[in-house]
Amino acid sequence: MKWENKSIDPAVRTMLGKADKDGIDTVWDRYEAQQPQCGFGLLGICCRNCIQGPCRIDPFGSGPQKGVCGAGADLIVARNLLRSLMGGTAAHADHAYEAVEALYMAADGLAPYEIKDENKLKSVASKLGIDTEGKDKNRLAKEVAETAFADFANHGSSPMKWLTATAPQERVETWGKLGVLPKNPDREIRTAMHQTSMGVDSDPVNLILSAVKLSLADGYGGLHLATDIQDILFGTPTPVVSEANLGVLKADHVNIIIHGHVPLLSEKVVEWARKLEDEAKSAGASGIQLSGLCCTGNEILMRQGVPLANNFLAQELAITTGAVDAMVVDVQCIMPSLADTAACYHTKIITTMPIAKMPGAEHVPFEIEKVDETAQQIVRMAIEAYKKRDPGKVNIPDEKSSVMAGFSVEAIVGALSKLDASNPLKPLVDNIANGNVLGACAVVGCNNAKVTQDASHIGLVRELLKNNVLVVATGCAAHALGKAGFLTSEAAEKYAGETLKAVLTAVGNAAGLNAPLPPVLHMGSCVDNSRIGDLVAALAGYLKVAVKDLPIAASAPEYQHEKAIAIGTWAVSLGVFTHLGVVPPVLGSQQVTTLLTSDPVESLLGGKFYVETDPIKAAAGIIAHIKSKRAKLGI
């Protein structure tokens, strides 16, 4: 079949055929047009950090070995890596800062949001050392927001409060000894930009240490901060059942797809889409169908049960169905091609953020104070677009799968507490100790056009599950596994090894499902990787060992974004063995490659990167690592 090497998702293959027929240029077409890609860039040995360049190093040794300024391959690769981390950290820190602003304004009565999880608010406040006694939720929320703002304004020598309050103490001590504790996310980003500019740092090892520091700013001033604040504002997720894949679109409904990463507007779009159902019906539709793409999709799935349309690579193909009346985008992972694709149909592309505009789209500014008006305007724009839909262009694939999502740490502990209310982690730890659960792996990250869509996610997870490794997932990886049917009770019967299946069945029955838990637990969006960090920290604390000693691993089989590089480095900094399924652009430097994947970084941090493009071999490597950790623990 012509589309087999593009995706394993049958819905995507169907839409690729329609895109070809309709003359739509897709991400895969553009990837093929780029071949062969620049070998210098793939190896990380191209430098454009000053106007004397661009400079490149000959990897075969017969051409230039130094740039104009004298920078060699090791330095150029290390600087480029740090700059990628800087981009990822900036994305997450900006996301988190906007969430803090929303919390502060909501607490002050200046934004139309309700603080929905007072228990999470009190829990976060207590960790930060804020007295909760006798304070109403708005006063307490304001103090929590002020503490977060103080991290972004920290000009002293102390590290970020959000880090010291939430990271394992053993890690804080380790990072302190290495001199990599971040003080202020904005300050670390600025410093890294300066450090990598022409004529500043020329020590690759020092640059890699700065990458570790920046990843910690990402992990605690981006991921953890955003997750905590969003849970306080919108509620901590609990298990929900929904659906995933393009088949969730409905031909007789107004279809609105919400795409991006920040739930500040999307939560309101969900609210107003439900309130304006009658207007859609007056326009001739049967109602309004919402669905999500990328991490905003994960956010509204977990809290509102909104189905997932698809993940990153299929965003153009969702429009190609001809059934999408509006796609609302905020920031991150938004393809600039969307407006060109939409121009072939009736679809409105609606941008909302001042830093993410797109020629050919309609811009509806997101302002926190006016978010209700904005959400209503967007929904009504979709209803108007529905009236212009051409039924002859509509082709919605049938494929969709049931999914169970919303497994926050609180939800997981709640399910385990049904087996042991006084000591909820004990059942999980006991089953790891006796070998019923071999270990756990977080499968996270993006899609990448270099890899057949979803194939690496599915191939890796299938191998892990049959070897009794419990899997948790976030981001586009969670979408992939949901579409393929791994986020259901039935998947435990189909894919899990016998002992893992028995554990999932016991927990699921105790929790009242009358069925096993899914063998892959959907823990949310990319920023929600902090939930995984909290879960492994809790397990390490219970066992009185360091995170680096646990029989666990992480994997990003199809990553593509700078954010994923920052998250992966944070995972290594926590002490986690971290698999990458796409070769990172560092192979031009033997020193940097060795630092990241071998003993040097492992001896310092306890974790390292493991690069393997074959998902079956990658699973074998992860399983071998888990077994080695079990042996060291004597289990």
In the chain, the number of structural domains is: 3
Residue 541 shares a structural domain with residue 429: yes
- Considering the domain boundaries, does residue 130 fall inside one? yes
Per-residue confidence (pLDDT) for residue 1, from 0 to 100: 53
Tokens 């006796």 map to which residue? 434
Does 78 lie in the same domain as 168?
yes
Residue 2: pLDDT over 90:
no
- CATH number of domain containing 141: 1.20.1270.30
Q: Are residues 410 and 348 in the same domain?
A: no
Examine the fold and report which residue of 181, 210, 234 is the final residue of a domain before the chain moves on.
234
From 190, 214, 234, give the residue that closes a domain: 234
Contact 291, 297 (CB under 8 A): yes
Provide the angle, in degrees to the nearest 10, between the axes of the packed helices 137-152 and 118-127.
40
Whether 146 is in a domain gets the answer yes
Range of the domain at 619: 401-633
Q: Are residues 368 and 410 in the same domain?
A: no
Express as a percent the part of the chain with pLDDT over 70.
Answer: 100
Which residues are 469's β-sheet partners?
439
* Co-location of 439 and 488 in the same domain: yes
Please indicate, yes or no, if residue 467 is contained in any of the structural domains: yes
pLDDT in tens, 293-347: 999 999 999 999 999 999 999 999 999 999 999 999 999 999 999 999 999 999 9
Indicate whether 433 and 573 sit together in one domain.
Answer: yes
8-state DSSP, 278: H
The packing angle between helices 73-107 and 137-152, to 10°, is 160
Q: Report the alpha-carbon distance of residue 213 to residue 482 in Å, rounded.
A: 34
- Dist. CA 160–CA 182, nearest whole Å: 6
Domain end among 234, 258, 281: 234
Q: Is residue 34 part of a domain?
A: no
Q: H-type helices in 196-321, by residue range? A: 204-218, 224-234, 263-275, 277-282, 294-304, 315-320
Please provide the DSSP assignment of 71-130 as one string: --HHHHHHHHHHHHHHHHHHHHHHHHHHHHHHHHHHHTT-SS-----HHHHHHHHHHTT-
Contact between 120 and 253 (Cβ < 8 Å): no
Angstrom distance (rounded) from CA 327 to CA 339: 10
Structural domain includes residue 196 = yes
Contact 331, 266 (CB under 8 A): no
Q: Are residues 559 and 486 in the same domain?
A: yes
Q: Is residue 22 part of a domain?
A: no
The DSSP code for 134 is T
259, 371: one domain: yes
Report pLDDT digits (tens) over 422-462: 999 999 999 999 999 999 999 999 999 999 999 999 999 99
Instruction: Indicate the DSSP class of residue 453.
Output: B
Question: Residue 39 domain-assigned?
Answer: no
Same domain for 372 and 417, yes or no, is no
pTM value is: 0.96
Q: Are residues 571 and 599 in the same domain?
A: yes
CATH classification of the domain holding 412 = 3.40.50.2030
| 167 and 198 assigned to the same domain | yes
Residues 109 and 194 in one domain: yes
What CA–CA distance (Å, rounded) separates 539 from 506? 20
Q: Is 545 inside a domain boundary?
A: yes
pLDDT, residue 4, reads 78
Cα separation, 29 vs 593, in Å, equals 31
What type of residue is 486? Answer: F
